[in-house]
Structure 1
Amino acid sequence: MTSTSTVYVVLAALCWGVSGGIGGILMADGWDAFVVSFYRGVIGLLFVFVWLALRPSGSGLASRQLWFWSAIAGLGVAGNFAFYFVSIAQGSIAIAATLMYCAPVFVYLVSFALKLERPTALNLAAIAVVMFGIVLLTQIYDVGAGSVTSIGVGAGLLAGLSYAVFILGFKYAAPHGSPQAILTIAFAVLATILIWPGDVNQTVGVLSTPDWPLFVALGVFGAGLSFVLYIVGLNRIAPAIASILAMIEPVIASLFGVVVLNESLVGPQIFGMGLILVTVTALSVDSNV
């Protein structure tokens, strides 16, 4: 079963990587980042709702703690989707995906701030290496580089922070109900939040646009099928292994940006990306974040 679970997690990471590319294509066609995020979440909601309907036992929907922490997870995933696509729109898929992958670093920082975990020399050194990698990747030391705007960098980091909020919310909701119930509540919260900042005309226009297959693919790969595969796979595989396998997401997203959208990265950026991916993966393995 472990090999099958590994395949599930790999497929989920592949789906997430491809979804970043699909979102990039849609925004290059003029679609608003919030509209793209909204439809990604709504289609994901349909998937997990069907999953809950097919397997309703042990849902825990009567638990207030489940609703509270699932809503927190929903805030996190809403921010993750929205900030991720804003970052892509303001920079590149490679940079946005790699910055989002920094989520475990934010989990550490929140844990330190709340005194849930004590910082060690190794943890602090790893965080410093990640920060150095971010400097190289975003080229913030070179004002004229033009590869990404400050909004793009900030949005990418906020996407990572939001994902950390999702991780914590899901973690605390898990003892009170089933994954499908948690995700259903979380995606419902996402849909409620992201319907407001998007362009209303575009939100309605998606229903009749020739681009609707891309929106469906985005929702299926980016939120529906991927989350189901990841949760099912994670039940039978060590979180440390899952963290390593998740490295596929930013790599696939970056390749998609280079091959399909003609994005490019210079040497220092590639080195910075490598530092971030390797260090964050090591942090995740060490702590099972």
Structure 2
Amino acid sequence: MPHASPNPLKSLTNEKLAGLSTLLVVLAAFSWGLSGGIGGILTGQGWDPVVVSFYRGAIGLLFVLAWLALRPQGSGLGSGRMWLWSAVAGLGVAGNFTFYFLSIAEGSVAVAATLMYCAPVFVYLVSFALGLERPTLFKWVAIVMVLLGVVLLTGIYDIGAGDVTLIAAGAGLASGLSYAVFIFGFKFAAPHGSPQAILVIAFAVLVLILFSLGDPGQMVDVLSTSSWPLFVILGVLGAGLSFIFYIVGLNYTAPAVASIVAMVEPVTASLFGVVFLDESLAAVQIFGMALILLTVTGLSLHSSLQAKAVPPQPRSD
């Protein structure tokens, strides 16, 4: 039998979907980069990083609730496992937001964003420990290079002479570790529920945790401050639209492309810090940043190429 000729309209449609999806991923990464800069402005005004993180997550919760209301199918809200792992994801994103803004408040946007970008390294280390990933020479060399980049970026070899404090460096790495917790929580929750349901639970957990930890006075003051538009923009860009854009965009974006596009976030955050917050980096710090970004991107590319041959896991509620 002769082979049927490919449908050019279908091919064109797929190309357009791929292009649009990649654009959504770019917009998500760009929004996360801007949110770091906005967080830098707010913490520079004296707002508690916990309070800033709370409003970022609370506004994000409103958006994902609306998404779940519009797309309630297959939510998996009856699955106990989905609730458990979504709560773990919420704990991770709460730590990610808070430690990120703490690192910015104690250091700079560029350093905080780059250290948070080390999250895939933590994912690999945890995966090694749990037997989910097989260690290889390439992965260990990449991890060592990232650690070298962290040393150069933070200047921890001469911490007294640098602008990056131990708190800033530690909080930046803790934000990356927290993001790794979010990744694992979301990954294990995904087979049992929809992304929007998982995010609703995760952001609800974030709101509960940070509300209990935040300064009550500042929580109320936000509602009447002249800076409230920045809080709204932070929530919309940093948690509301960005998470939706990213998850929807991944549907038709190749993992390798998404790995490269993710570099938009730390680059955008760093440029924001330089242009609007008058931050600067020494040459050795710039080299360390480049070493981290390029190595982590290479790790992500390597991981996505390996994952191509792995079939998707069946969903079980």
Secondary structure, in 3 states, of the residue corresponding to 1:148? coil
Q: Among 52, 74, 82, which residue is 2:90 paired with?
A: 74
**Are 1:39 and 2:55 an aligned pair?**
yes
What residue in structure 1 maps to residue 9 of structure 2?
Answer: none
CA distance in 2, matches of 1:205, 1:146: 34
CA distance in 2, matches of 1:205, 1:145: 37
CA distance in 2, matches of 1:143, 1:85: 20
**Are 1:95 and 2:137 an aligned pair?**
no
Displacement of 1:199 in angstroms is: 1.1
Corresponding pairs, count? 289
Question: Counterpart of 2:233 in structure 1: which amino acid?
Answer: A
Question: Counterpart of 1:116 in structure 2: which amino acid?
Answer: L
What residue in structure 2 maps to residue 173 of structure 1?
Answer: 189
Q: Among 7, 24, 31, which residue is 1:8 paired with?
A: 24
What residue in structure 1 maps to residue 65 of structure 2?
Answer: 49
TM-score when scaled to structure 2? 0.90
Question: Counterpart of 1:195 in structure 2: which amino acid?
Answer: F
Displacement of 1:236 in angstroms is: 1.1
What residue in structure 2 maps to residue 17 of structure 1?
Answer: 33
CA distance in 2, matches of 1:192, 1:49: 16
Question: Counterpart of 2:180 in structure 1: which amino acid?
Answer: A
What residue in structure 2 maps to residue 61 of structure 1?
Answer: 77
Displacement of 1:71 in angstroms is: 0.5
Secondary structure, in 3 states, of the residue corresponding to 1:196? helix
Deviations 1:57-79 (A, max 9, x none): 11110111110111111011000
Supply the RMSD in Å over aligned alpha carbons. Answer: 0.9
CA distance in 2, matches of 1:188, 1:244: 30
**Are 1:263 and 2:279 an aligned pair?**
yes
Question: Counterpart of 1:155 in structure 2: which amino acid?
Answer: A
CA distance in 2, matches of 1:20, 1:143: 24
Secondary structure, in 3 states, of the residue corresponding to 1:127? helix
What residue in structure 2 maps to residue 140 of structure 1?
Answer: 156
Deviations 1:231-276 (A, max 9, x none): 0001111222111101000000000001000000000000000000
**Are 1:231 and 2:247 an aligned pair?**
yes
CA distance in 1, matches of 2:161, 2:66: 47
CA distance in 2, matches of 1:117, 1:251: 29
What residue in structure 2 maps to residue 213 of structure 1?
Answer: 229
Where in structure 2 are the equivalents of 1:148-227 lying within 5 Å?
A: 148-227=164-243
Specify every segment of 5 or more residues in structure 2 that has no aligned partner in the other structure, as ranges. Answer: 1-16, 308-317
Mapped contact 2:159–2:165 kept (Cα < 8 A): no
Deviations 1:150-188 (A, max 9, x none): 011111001000101111111111111111000000000
**Are 1:247 and 2:263 an aligned pair?**
yes
CA distance in 2, matches of 1:82, 1:144: 25
What residue in structure 1 maps to residue 122 of structure 2?
Answer: 106
Displacement of 1:146 in angstroms is: 3.1
CA distance in 1, matches of 2:71, 2:221: 34
CA distance in 2, matches of 1:27, 1:218: 12
Between 273-282 and 190-199, the greater mean CA deviation after superposition: 190-199
CA distance in 2, matches of 1:238, 1:68: 29
CA distance in 1, matches of 2:293, 2:161: 22
Deviation beyond 6 Å, 4+ runs, structure 1: none
CA distance in 1, matches of 2:128, 2:159: 33
TM-score when scaled to structure 1? 0.99
Displacement of 1:144 in angstroms is: 3.2
- Calculate percent identity across the aligned residue pairs: 71
Displacement of 1:118 in angstroms is: 1.8
Secondary structure, in 3 states, of the residue corresponding to 2:213? coil
CA distance in 1, matches of 2:162, 2:52: 25
